[in-house]
Amino acid sequence: MITQFAWRYFKGKKSTQAVQIISWVSVIAMAVGTAALIIVLSVFNGFEHFVKNLYTDFYPDMKITAIQGKHFTLTDSVWNQLKAVKGIEIMSKTIEEKVLLTSEENQSVVTLKGVDENYDSVTHFMNNIQYGKVTFNQDEDIPSMLLGIGISNKLGVSEEGHFPINCYVFKKNVSISFDPTQIYNTQLFMVNALFTMPDIENDYAFTSLHTLQALSENDNKISSIEMSVLKEASINDVQQKINNIIAPYALKSANRYEQNKTLYFILKSERWAVYAILTMMLLIASFNIIGSLSMLVIEKEKDIAILNTMGMPQNMIKKIFIATGILISLIGACIGSVVAWIVCWIQIQFGIVKMGESGSFLVDAYPVRLSVFDFILVMATVIMIAFIASWIPAVKASKKAIELRLR
C-alpha cells in the first residue's frame, strides 16, 4: 500500500507545474550523479586491473624469503615438502644482489637477479623481451645477462646486438682496502637480450642462478623461492600450508598482494577517496528531493487529512513520503546506471576517450572494467541518501496530520 501511494504521488498530476518540474529535476540530478559515480569507479577498476596485469610477469603468485637478512640456505627436505603442497604448480630459486654495472665511462647501480631454469615458467617474464634471446648457460666462458632497456639507456649502450658489460659485486667479510680488486668481485657479462617493463626495466638485470651465487660468494644460498599456484587452487589455503612448513626455519611467505602492499593500498585509497567526493554530488542532488517533497506535503494536505480521518497512523503517513523520496531517487539511479553501462561499454569496445597522443602512454585509451559490486554499492548509497533526504519532509507530513486533527 505504501508503494502504491508513493507511485501515485510521484506520477499523479500536481496542482502546480513547479512541483512536477522539481520532481523530475530531482530524478535527473540523481541520474547524473549515479552515472558519474559508476563511470569513475569503472575507470578505477580498469586502471587497477591494468596495473595488476602489468606486473604479473615479475611478481609471482607466492614468494618465500628470509625473515631476517637477504639470503638463506634451502635444505632438500624443505624443498621436497614445498613441492608436495597441493596447489603449487612450479617453483623457482632466485638470488638478488646490488651490483655496479659499467660500460666504458658510464655506470649504474642495479639489482642483479639470478634465476634458475624454472623462472620463466613461474612468471612468464621472458614475454617482455624486446631485443635478442636469453640463453642462461652456466657453461659459457662469458656468462649472459638480460638487461632492462632503462639501464641500457643509462649505460649508453646499443639497443640491438650483443655487447659486453662489466659487473662489480662487494666481497663478503672484506677489510678496508684501497685496492679495488680486494673489495669487489668482477665479472664480464655478455648482454644478449633487453627487456621492457615499467619501473622494473630501470632497476633490474638478470643472469643465471649459479653465476650470481658464485660471483657474490653465496654458494648454495638463495634470496627467495618463487612459485606459481594452480588457477583452481585457493591462494589462502596454499599459503597456510606453506607457512606451516617454513615456520620453523625463520622464513616467511607473501602472496602477490602482500608483495605490492603499497601499490594496492594507493589504488584502493584513491578509489574510495573519489567515491567519497562523488557521493557529495548525490548529497547535493538530494536537496532537490527535500524541496520536492516539502512542496508535495503542502499540496497533499487534503489527502493527509483524509488518511488521518480514516485512522491511518502518523508513522504510516511518514513512511509514504519516505517511500516517495526513495522512489524518485531509484528512478534516477536506474536511469543513471543504464547510461553508465552504455558509456562504459562504448569505451571498452571502441576506446573513444584517449589518454593522450598515441604511444605516449602504456595504454592508448582509458581502461574501463564494469563491476556488479559498483552497481550494488551505488544503489545502496542512493537509497541511504534518499532515506535521509526524505526524512525531514516525511516528519513534517506526520506533524501536519496532527495539526489537521486539532483544527
Q: Which of 259, 274, 289 is the last residue of a domain?
A: 259
- The residue among 314 and 320 whose pLDDT is bigger is 320
Task: Using alpha carbons, select from 172, 243, 251, 199 the residue that is nearest to residue 57.
Answer: 199
Residues 206 and 289 in one domain: no
> What are the tens digits of pLDDT across the range 192-209?
889 888 888 899 999 999
Determine contact, residues 92/118, Cβ cutoff 8 Å.
yes
Q: Looking at the predicted structure, is the pLDDT value of residue 150 above 80?
A: yes
Q: Are residues 139 and 205 in the same domain?
A: yes
Q: Look at residue 355 and tell me whether its pLDDT is greater than 90.
A: no
Range of the domain at 11: 2-55+263-406
pLDDT confidence of residue 309? 65
Residues 232 and 92 in one domain: yes
pLDDT at 380: 93
**153 and 291 together in one domain:** no
pLDDT above 70 as % of the chain: 82
For residues 86 and 219, membership in a common domain is answered with yes
Question: What average pLDDT does the segment 17-28 reach?
Answer: 76
**343 and 385 assigned to the same domain:** yes
pTM of the model: 0.74
Strands 163-170 and 184-195: antiparallel
179 and 315 inside one domain: no
pLDDT of residue 406: 45
Distances (CA, A) of 73 to 220, 301, 349: 6, 83, 51
Last residue of a domain, one of 259, 283, 304: 259
407 grid coordinates: 483544527
Note the pLDDT of residue 141. Answer: 78
SS3 at position 145: strand
Domain termination residue (choose one: 242, 259, 276): 259
pLDDT at 81: 94
Of the candidates 88, 172, 191, the residue with the CA atom closest to the CA atom of residue 134: 191
Q: Which helix (H) or strand (E) holds 184?
A: strand 184-195
352 and 392 share a domain? yes
Distance, in Å, from the CA atom of 103 to the CA atom of 108, rounded to the nearest integer, reads: 9
Residues 117 and 44 grouped into a single domain? no
For residues 255 and 277, membership in a common domain is answered with no
Select from 359, 350, 299 the least CA-distant residue to 324: 299
Separation of first and last alpha carbons in the chain: 27
126-142: per-residue pLDDT in tens?
888 888 887 766 566 78
Say how far residue 326 (Cα) sits from the centre of its chain.
33
Q: Is the pLDDT of residue 10 over 70?
A: no
- Strands 204-208 and 221-222 come out as unpaired
Q: What is the mean pLDDT of residues 377-402?
A: 79
| Rounded distance between C-alpha atoms, residue 392 and residue 404, angstroms | 18
Question: Under a CB-based contact definition with an 8 Å cutoff, are residues 165 and 186 in contact?
Answer: no
CA distance 270 to 263: 11
Indicate the range of 15-24, 234-243, 324-333 predicted with least confidence: 15-24
Query: Which is nearest to 372 in space by CA: 336, 341, 351, 346?
Result: 341
Domain count, the chain: 2
Q: How far apart are CA 378 and CA 33, in angstroms?
A: 10
What's the pLDDT score for residue 15?
54
Q: Return the SS3 of 262.
A: helix
Averaged confidence pLDDT in the chain: 83
Phi, psi of 328 (to 5 degrees): -60, -45
pLDDT, one tens digit per residue, over 227-275 is 999 989 999 999 999 999 999 999 999 998 888 888 888 888 888 898 9
At residue 404, the pLDDT reads 46
Whether 95 and 166 share a structural domain: yes
Is 60 exceeded by the pLDDT of residue 360?
A: no
82 in the same domain as 46: no
Regarding predicted confidence, which is higher, 83 or 135? 83
- What is the share, in percent, of the chain residues with pLDDT greater than 90? 39
Q: Is the pLDDT score of 402 beyond 60?
A: no
Flag whether pLDDT at 170 surpasses 60. Answer: yes
Q: How confident is the model at residue 218 (pLDDT cuts 50, 70, 90)?
A: confident
**For residue 17, what pLDDT band results from cuts at 50, 70 and 90?**
low
Question: Quick count: other Cβ atoms within 10 Å of Cβ 215?
Answer: 22
Per-residue cell: 347: 569505451
What is the 8-class DSSP label of residue 23?
A: H
SS3 of 164, please? strand
